[in-house]
Structure 1
Amino acid sequence: MWKYFVDATAEIIEEEGLENVTIRKVADKAGYNSATIYNYFSEVSHLLFFASMRCMQDYTNEVARYIERGKDPIEKYLLAWECFCQYSFKQPQIFHAVFIMDLGETPEALLENYYNFYPNDLINIPDDLKTILFQHSLTKRGRSMLEIALKEGYLTEGNVDAINEITLLIWQGMFTNLLNNRKSYDANQATAITMKYITEIVRNANLFDEQTKNKQ
Structure 2
Amino acid sequence: MVKGKKEIQRARMWRYFLDAATDVIEEEGIQNVTIRKIADRAGYTSSTAYNYFKDLSHLKFFAAMRFTTDYLNELPDYMAKGKNTVDKWLYAWECFCKHSFEQPEIYSVIFMGNLGVEPEELLDHYYDVYKDDLSGLPETIQAIIMQHNFSKRSAQFIQGAVEEGFIKQEDVTLIADMTLMIWKGMMNTYMNHRRTDTKQEAAARTVHFVQQCVIRSIDPSRRDELAFNL
* Normalised TM-score (structure 2): 0.87
Q: Give the counterpart of 1:185 among 186, 197, 205.
A: 197
| Cross-structure match for 1:214 | none
Q: Deviations over 1:151-205 (max 9, x none)?
A: 2222111221222222112111111111222223222111111122211221121
1:21 paired to 2:33? yes
Q: Which amino acid aligns with 1:166?
A: M
Query: For the Cα contact (< 8 Å) 2:30–2:106, is it kept in 1?
Result: yes
In structure 2, C-alpha distance between the alignment counterparts of 1:21 and 1:184, rounded to whole Å: 27
Write out the 4+ residue segments of structure 1 that deviate beyond 3 Å after TM superposition. 208-211
Alignment of 1:58-207 (within 5 A): 58-207=70-219
In structure 2, C-alpha distance between the alignment counterparts of 1:101 and 1:49, rounded to whole Å: 8
Q: Which amino acid aligns with 1:205?
A: S
Query: How far off is 1:208 after superposition?
Result: 4.8
1:6 paired to 2:18? yes
Q: Deviations over 1:62-92 (max 9, x none)?
A: 1122111111101011011111111111111
In structure 2, C-alpha distance between the alignment counterparts of 1:108 and 1:67, rounded to whole Å: 24
In structure 2, C-alpha distance between the alignment counterparts of 1:28 and 1:43, rounded to whole Å: 16
Stretches of structure 2 lacking an aligned partner (at least 5 in a row)? 1-12, 224-230
**Fraction of identical pairs, as percent:** 43
Q: Which amino acid aligns with 1:19?
A: Q
In structure 2, C-alpha distance between the alignment counterparts of 1:121 and 1:184, rounded to whole Å: 35
In structure 2, C-alpha distance between the alignment counterparts of 1:207 and 1:200, rounded to whole Å: 13
Query: For the Cα contact (< 8 Å) 2:25–2:33, is it kept in 1?
Result: yes
Q: Which amino acid aligns with 2:104?
A: P
Secondary structure in structure 2 of the residue aligned to 1:166: helix
Count of aligned residue pairs for this structure pair: 211
Query: How far off is 1:97 after superposition?
Result: 1.1
Q: Which amino acid aligns with 1:187?
A: K
In structure 2, C-alpha distance between the alignment counterparts of 1:158 and 1:74, rounded to whole Å: 16
1:40 paired to 2:17? no
Stretches of structure 1 lacking an aligned partner (at least 5 in a row)? 212-216
In structure 1, C-alpha distance between the alignment counterparts of 2:189 and 2:77, rounded to whole Å: 28
Query: How far off is 1:3 after superposition?
Result: 0.9
Out of 201-210 and 166-175, give the one that drifted further. Answer: 201-210
Q: Deviations over 1:26-80 (max 9, x none)?
A: 1121111111100101111110000000011111111122111111101011011
In structure 1, C-alpha distance between the alignment counterparts of 2:198 and 2:26, rounded to whole Å: 19
